[in-house]
Amino acid sequence: CGVDLRVPGRSDDVETTISYADIFELLNEVVTKTRFKLIEALGQHIVDQLFDAFPTIQWIKVRVRKPEAPIPVVAGEFAIEIVRDRETA
């Protein structure tokens, strides 16, 4: 997540930044309460939820990996990466 960290960097005050624990709680809820057919949809939903919950986030990069994709010719995983800013979300 892209956030202007000048204030928390100078103040050393956790109240001036975004808590990693809060981000984790949101992401944990997203991935455990909603099922998606596409990893692209999951990635976009994560972006939308983070922008809604944390107004100071200016840009987000999300990578979603699907290990053991159900395609016989692919060994390993499939992955997508979404990069959005508030204007292109």
User: 70 phi and psi, to 5 degrees?
Assistant: -80, 50
Q: Please work out, in degrees rounded to the nearest 5, the angle formed at the alpha carbon of residue 2 by the alpha carbons of 46 and 13.
A: 110
The kind and range of the H/E element at 68 are none
Active site residue 66: yes
> Residues 33, 37, 61, 66: which is the catalytic one?
66
Which positions are annotated as active-site residues?
66
